[in-house]
């Protein structure tokens, strides 16, 4: 069972570069979300999606874009990377709503220099 697959696992970007973090799930989950995790802080929601074609902003959306063209995929785009975006990023999915168990990808450690 693949579950939630995130790529890449590690990435180093220069300030101003753009990139896309990939996230795919094979559990037919409706809900998908992106978080960032910084030392000493909890997971913070960047963007989320309640189904294909529907996305919404979370707590810290600035500098990030998402799209949800299929149920399976939920890529996160960094438009112009900044050092403040250095973090560990997690993608998560859940079956019906956030009121159920969320399954997480293995994370992407992003460093912006």
Please state the separation of Cα 83 from the chain's center in Å.
Answer: 18
Query: Would you tell me how many other CB atoms lie within 10 Å of the CB of residue 30?
Result: 15
CB 68 within 8 A of CB 55: yes
Tell which one of 12, 54, 98, 113 touches another protein (CB under 8 A).
98
Minimum distance of another protein from residue 16's CB (angstroms): 29
Q: Residue 11 to residues 21, 27, 72, 97: CA-CA distances in angstroms?
A: 9, 26, 23, 30
- In sequence order, the β-bridge partners of residue 93 are 32, 103
Minimum distance of another protein from residue 52's CB (angstroms): 17
Binders in 12-71 for another protein, by CB under 8 A: 33, 35, 40-45, 48, 50, 58-59
Residue 89 touching another protein (CB under 8 A): no
Question: Of the two residues 17 and 22, which places its CB atom closer to another protein in the complex?
Answer: 22
Question: Can you tell me the distance from the alpha carbon of 69 to that of 15, in angstroms, rounded to the nearest whole number?
Answer: 28
Question: Of the two residues 14 and 97, which places its CB atom closer to another protein in the complex?
Answer: 97
Interface contacts to another protein, rule CB under 8 A = 4, 33, 35, 40-45, 48, 50, 58-59, 90, 97-107
């Amino acid at each position: 069972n693949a579950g939630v697959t995130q790529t890449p696992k590690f990435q180093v970007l220069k300030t101003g570069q753009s990139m896309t973090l990939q996230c795919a799930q094979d559990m037919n989950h409706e809900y998908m979300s992106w978080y960032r995790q910084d030392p000493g802080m909890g997971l913070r929601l960047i963007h989320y999606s309640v189904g294909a074609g529907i996305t919404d902003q979370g707590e810290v959306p600035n500098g990030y874009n998402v799209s949800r063209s299929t149920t399976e995929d939920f890529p996160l785009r960094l438009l112009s990377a900044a050092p403040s975006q250095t973090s560990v990023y997690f993608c998560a999915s859940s079956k019906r709503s956030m009121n159920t168990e969320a399954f997480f990808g293995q994370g992407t450690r992003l460093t912006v220099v």
